[in-house]
Structure 1
Amino acid sequence: MTPKLNRRQAMETAAAAAGAVAVAVQTPDAEAGGRVELGRYAHRDGVRGRMTGAQAAAAAIRCEGTPCVFGIPGAQNNELWDAFKAYEVPYMLVAHEFSASIMADASARATGRPGVFSVVPGPGLTNCLTGLGEALYDGIPVVAVVTDIDRSANAPVGQVHGLMNEALLRPVVKALFVVRHQAEIPGTLFHAFRLAQAGEPGPVGVVIPYPFFADVWDYDQAPPPPMPVPFDETAYQRVVCHLQDKRKRIGIYAGLGCVEAGPALTAVAEMLQAPVATSVSGKGVIADAHPLAVGWGYGKQGTRAAEKAFKDVDVVLAVGVRYSEVSTANYAIPDIEVVHVDVNPNNMGKNVPTSHSLVSDSRVFLDRLLGDAATLRRPADPGLWSRIDRHRQVDRCIARTQQVTQCVDPMFFLSQLRCSLGPEELIFVDVTASTHWASETIEVQGTRRYFTPSDNQSMGWAIPAAIGAQRVRPDRRVVCVTGDGCFLMSAMEMSTAARLGLPVKFFVFDDGAYHYMQMLQEPVFRRTTATEIARVDYAAFAAGLGVGYNQIASNADVVPGLQRSFGLAGPILTHVIVSYDGREIRWLNALRTKYIGDLSNREKIRLAARVGVRAVTPRDDSD
């Protein structure tokens, strides 16, 4: 009679059997003449040798120098995660797949290398769609390794996680590849990495049915070279001829597309004596300390310095930037001639008319301009530098003046946060009412230091993003500023920081409401709806997760409170009690003005009637 085994004994027996199989499946070692374990022929310059599909995938990802793979292992991709360990691919378990895609996004923003995450199909995939959408809209290179169910002709019906995974993934990625045979795995991954970075960067999905992870193949796959960079010489010459007109004053509007071209951008600005404004995601492409840097935006939504400097501009040279809804406050763009240079032809002439356009990588274009300096250079303009400096000092003075007194003034806090950090620290800001103050106030001296979800506006993004960035940049201090509403969406991910001892400093602005929505609702409806949120005991929450706790409740305690947060080891949750009453948000004012201006006369009458009626017959039904 066969003795019964308990669960642990059964697992140990299965493990021993698997080990015996691993020893039996061997391949000759041509150099040593001996025998090696399956899959050990993996090289930095490619994937070669006889190995499983999972091992080939792990070897390809390792070849790309991926700093970390984020995700949660599951039934369909356990083979792959075991291969990550065998091939020493750095990986990190997250608390929710929502965070896996966001951490991969943040890894790419912080390092310049494509971020990678791995999830199971079905709920694993659907949970990560928000982060993929943010990466797509913001132009961030990410490789999503999504396992699929068995899709073969004889596959059983009703497999777990059997949603239409390809159809779910396709709308939120730049490109999608579906592996049809295990032989395709490394080549497909290599191509996904190249495509994620080519042209306008973005996320690329790779779908691999799980049976291929266990199938064995003889691989010989080297990484392909980078994809070619487009450049239209005729269009470039037209742009140069236009910029040669010294009667026209030039201003530069630079975006995230210039992230690898900061030195060239700065040199071009000096050559043209052009003030430089950036988009929010482009902050840092020119150091804020540079005398030609005017902050973000160049309309009423951006810094005062940018708005005033660009009133004297005749031509805007827009480089590596999209005129998106958020960055322009609903397309509130000053009427200035635009010459647009961007690697994505779909960004040209859609939201703003252009006199000239050039499809080009920003670094290639800027380097070419510097090569034509003899015909483009303009004399130094100390008067311009002096005016910019005065305008920027006014902006800084306003930010550092305490205008909210009953508790913490968010803009004052942000200005002091910037002063408390070194020039290399990483700052992540969530989608809160304070987002636009942060864009005005937080100055950075280089790229890959300031991060926010610019175009998809994914609430709760900053907490997992900061954790992911800290994982791949342990050499930098990482700070996260989020709101109480965003906190409710992703706060449990702080357990990951606690588990791994990642010393992120989390600052939560608490006013008990979705105040951003209140600011949008109140002027139009004279009441708020569904904006008051649950009260949280932040001290108890921090204690429950094993995260350090701190509180800042007044302006007088801002500087000491920051010192306490940065003086404590490990991850720290700082509860900042704020009020938004008493501060102007320039972006919001520009948005309202543009919104009302775009209404038809009928719509304006309807809006005025509703506001008037509710003003004279107020009801206490805001919630």
Structure 2
Amino acid sequence: MNGARWLVQALAAEGVDTLFGYPGGAIMPFYDALHGADLKHILVRHEQGAAFAANGYARASGRVGVCVATSGPGASNLVTGIADAMLDSVPMVIITGQVATPLMGTDAFQELDVFGMTMPIVKHSFLPRSVDDLPRILGEAFRIARSGRPGPVLIDLPKDVQNGDASHLPTHRPLPVDEVPAPMDASLHAALALISQAQRPVIYGGGGLALGDAVQAFRTFVDATQIPTVLTLKGLGTLPSQHPLNLGMLGMHGSRAANLAVQESDLLIVVGARFDDRATGKLTEFAPHARVVHMDLDACEIGKLRHADAGVRGDIRTTLTLLTLPCAAHLHGRNGAARRAWRTACQQRARDGAARYDAPGETVYAPALLKRLSEMAPDAVVACDVGQHQMWVAQHWRFDDPRKHLTSGALGAMGFGLPAAIGAQLQDPRSQVICVSGDGSFLMNVQELATVARYRLPVKIVLLDNQALGMVRQWQELFFERRYSEVDLSDNPDFAAVASAFGIQASYVDRADGVESALRALLDAPGPALLHVAIDQAANVWPLVPPNHNNAQMLDADEPASLPGTEAPPTSPIAEEPRHALST
């Protein structure tokens, strides 16, 4: 029993059933210990894929995701996935190999100070110097990753510690997570007082609702108080898309109904959200008439960016439960008529501004395709890459569960979608998992098609191809006087042929009248499948709040001429050559 074998048994004791990784020199003892063990190891084709797959596994399941890599470049290739987990509060334990302790600090082969390199992007780091450190470190790593506001924890594991005699170590027993504090009575009374006085209240829900297992309590609170509600990108699904009080996503690409309601409100009830700049627009002009009730587990978030008139720190589920009945009783009393009129106006604006899907022409309209796919696969877990397609998914997919929407929110990491879909599929092999990607993002981790093929994971991939870095191109069109710099991807490969080369069923569609049958064929495929969708290169995401503007200053498709450099709509913004032929 060496340190590596003890660690493998301890991971199983922590409830780990699947881990993602790529072997190398400094982590070989651990991989030797995996041989014949019950843990399921998924061999990815790049360490970034391992980090994103563990990330997707954790987001979809709520359990701790685990990834493994060797020292040096193996560890450094994990960094983007670790940072994504830190910024989006995803529980992960990352195990990296390290050179033997006598060689540390000597610039040995594949030695990197991964402990120091990752310090700003983890909740905690551990560097065991002896095999005797392993029981304490492993228990603490999982406890910290799970407790409070979740996040990633790194264990940098020297090779000699892996090889050390561990026969004397005790059987591992998991540590309990930290108890979540309950809200203080005084803060609850302050929140109730503000809510009872409001005439134009808006609930602003974020990703902390899913992290705090507070989705049902949130829905009960919304139904009881009948307050119009807006959601952040990571909050989508906490209130079903079709709920009558759901005004949609707020922020840069949020709905007009959501943004205007926030800007006109006299009280914001902020639940598990952090006033991210993509949600608030110009912060100094965000919700200018509103007082703020801010509920969050993390005390550091309350008042960080916007003063909270009532800050309620503690378990969000408990907070909502304690406030639901008192708030409902007060809201149906004084100012009730004003609040009813406000609710009616917000809902009417949402109906008037509802998205239309009857785009003219024969080409594929991406929002309509995504809306139709969400209807055909209502229970699917969607792993999304970053770019225009990410915003279209957020706007047009009908989510009813935040753990079914996996997206790189705060970091905005391209290449996230495919490996995250792999992780989501492996956490529940029975689930339907769809990866929505763009041509730019897809090529960043395209090698993970090999992982999908090896394990015959039934992931369905929808690849929206506009032969450009679409979001960058849109900004260059609107804000840089159409100086298109390094966004042309017109030399993309035949993606259907690429998928076929990995043994994955693939097809292609470029006409609106072929979308329905193409989507049905994709969903009916018995294993993994890819649908390559050609879309208009000039298509933009609307509405859009320009940088350094407030959320009431939204642009729509018919308004770009109001910005400098956008006097006329572009016809062919990048390439004059027609789209190259693609196989079906």
TM-score, normalised to structure 1, is 0.82
Contact 1:326 1:455 in 2 (8 A): no
Could you tell me which of 322, 326, 348 is aligned with 1:368? 322
Q: Residue 415 of structure 1 corresponds to which residue in structure 2? A: 371
Residue 451 of structure 2 aligns to which amino acid in structure 1?
Answer: T
1:344 maps to amino acid: D
Q: Deviations over 1:125-148 (max 9, x none)?
A: 111111111111111111111121
Question: Pairwise mapping of residues 324-473 of structure 1 onto structure 2 (< 5 A)?
Answer: 324-329=276-281, 331=283, 333-335=286-288, 336-370=290-324, 372=326, 376=330, 378=332, 390-398=348-356, 400-403=357-360, 405=361, 407-422=363-378, 424-473=379-428
Q: 1:160 aligns with which of 109, 123, 128?
A: 109
Matched pairs, number:
551
Q: Percent identity?
A: 28
- Which of 277, 287, 290 matches 2:240? 287
Letter in 1 for 2:366: P
Matching residue's letter, 1:412 = A
Paired with 2:193 and 2:199, the residues of 1 have a C-alpha distance of 9
2:278 counterpart letter in structure 1: V
The counterpart of 1:320, out of the listed 261, 272, 293, is 272
1:251 to 198, 202, 205: 202
The 1:132–1:401 alpha-carbon spacing in structure 2 relative to 1, beyond 3 Å, is: same
1:286-338 Cα distance to aligned partner (Å, 9 max, x none): 222322222211x5741233235446632111011111123334647332222
Seen in structure 2, the aligned counterparts of structure 1 residues 159 and 576 have a Cα distance that, compared at 3 Å, is same
Whole-Å separation in 2 of the counterparts to 1:568 and 1:385: 44
Partner of 1:589: 545
Q: 1:155 to 1:436 in 2, by over 3 A?
A: closer
Structure 1 gaps, min length 5: 1-50, 598-606
1:362-409 C-alpha deviation (Å, 9 max, x unpaired) = 1121122236457545379877776565544445551x2225x35211
- What letter corresponds to residue 427 of structure 1 in structure 2? V
Matched, 1:240 2:196: no
Determine the C-alpha separation between the residues in 2 that align with 1:88 and 1:137.
Answer: 32
2:256 corresponds to: 304
CA distance in 2 between partners of 1:156 and 1:276 (Å): 54
Q: Is the Cα contact below 8 Å between 2:13 and 2:173 reproduced in 1?
A: no
Tell me the residue number matched to 1:23: none
Q: CA deviation at 1:572?
A: 0.9
Query: Which has the higher mean CA deviation after the structures are superposed, 386-395 or 270-279?
Result: 386-395
Matched, 1:137 2:75: no
In 1, Cα distance between equivalents of 2:214 and 2:159: 41
Q: How much does 1:213 deviate? A: 1.3
Deviates more, 1:207-216 or 1:235-244: 235-244
Q: Aligned letter for 2:314?
A: S
Q: What are the within-5 Å matches in structure 2 for residues 596-615 of structure 1?
A: none
Of 108, 115, 130, the residue aligned with 1:181 is: 130
Which of 192, 204, 225 is the equivalent residue of 1:272? 225
Deviations 1:64-116 (A, max 9, x none): 21241111122222222233344411221101001111111111110000111
1:160 maps to amino acid: F
SS of equivalent residue, structure 1 residue 327: helix
Choose the corresponding residue for 1:551, options 508, 521, 524: 508
Measured at CA, do residues 397 and 433 of structure 1 come closer, stay the same or move farther in structure 2, by a change above 3 Å? closer
Distance 1:539 1:287, change over 3 A: closer
- Conserved in 1, the CA contact under 8 Å of 2:467 and 2:537? no
Moved more, 217-226 or 200-209: 217-226
Letter in 2 for 1:148: Q
Q: Does the CA contact (< 8 Å) of 2:195 and 2:267 recur in 1?
A: no
Equivalent residue number for residue 601 of structure 1: none
> Counterpart of 2:557?
none
- Contact map agreement 1:528 1:622 (CA 8 A) in 2: no
Alignment of 1:38-187 (within 5 A): 51-152=1-102, 157-187=106-136
SS in 2 for 1:353: coil
Cα offset, 1:443, TM superposition: 1.5
Equivalent AA in structure 2 for residue 352 of structure 1: R
Could you tell me how far apart the structure 1 residues matched to 2:354 and 2:449 are? 33
The question of whether the paired residues in 1 share the 8 Å contact of 2:225 and 2:324 is answered with no
Query: Cα RMSD between the aligned structures?
Result: 2.8
Deviation (angstroms), 1:121: 1.2
Q: Secondary structure at the match of 2:517?
A: helix
| Cα distance in structure 2, aligned partners of 1:233 and 1:387 | 35
Partner of 1:512: 467
Given that 1:121 and 1:163 are in contact with CA atoms closer than 8 Å, whether structure 2 keeps it comes out as yes
Q: Does 1:205 align with 2:165?
A: no
The answer to whether 1:228 aligns with 2:159 is: no
- 2:579 equivalent in structure 1: none
Q: Deviations over 1:6-57 (max 9, x none)?
A: xxxxxxxxxxxxxxxxxxxxxxxxxxxxxxxxxxxxxxxxxxxxx3211221
Structure number, greater radius of gyration:
1
**CA distance, structure 1, for counterparts of residue 16 and residue 480 of structure 2:** 49
Contact 1:291 / 1:385 at 8 angstroms: preserved in 2?
no
